Structure 1
Amino acid sequence: MKSLLRFFPSALVAMVLTLFMTSCAAIGDIFKAGAYTGIIGVVVVLAVVIWLVSKLFGGNRNP
């Protein structure tokens, strides 16, 4: 049960992001804002994905 409770917040954030952020609207806004905004957006999204994967599959480092 404890592992499920540790997994739930990360899964909830991922689910909310997938449901409320449509790709067409996000890409359209990025093209309107410019190339640098798109590059920064991609870097931020990659950082969040890497962080989520490390939280989900990082293992238990506390003894």
Structure 2
Amino acid sequence: MRNTLILTFALITVTLFSGCEVIGDIFQAGMYVGFFIVIAIVAVIIWILRFFRRRT
């Protein structure tokens, strides 16, 4: 069950954020905005992982 949730999350993430498009937008917006986006994404991923670990 846990592996299925992680795989589903990874598949949704890959589908929604195509790598080249996201990188291009980050460079277009500027370094500080890109830095903030990366920190926000990492924080959300950590929060989701902690949430699922508490439930099991």
Higher helix proportion (structure 1 or 2): 2
Task: Give me the TM-score of the superposition, normalised by structure 1.
Answer: 0.65
Task: Give me the TM-score of the superposition, normalised by structure 2.
Answer: 0.72
What is the number of equivalent residue pairs in this alignment?
53
Matched, 1:50 2:21: no
Q: What whole-Å deviation, never above 9, does each CA across 1:43-62 have from its counterpart, x for those lacking one? A: 100111101100111246xx
Q: What whole-Å deviation, never above 9, does each CA across 1:9-60 have from its counterpart, x for those lacking one? A: x876x24332121011000100000001011001100111101100111246
Residue ranges of structure 1 left out of the alignment (5+ in a row): none
- Runs of 4+ in structure 1 off by over 2 angstroms are 14-18
Matched, 1:41 2:3: no
Paired-residue identity, %? 28
CA RMSD of aligned residues (A): 2.2
- Which protein has greater RCO, CA pairs closer than 8 Å, 6+ apart? 1
Aligned residue identity for 2:45: V
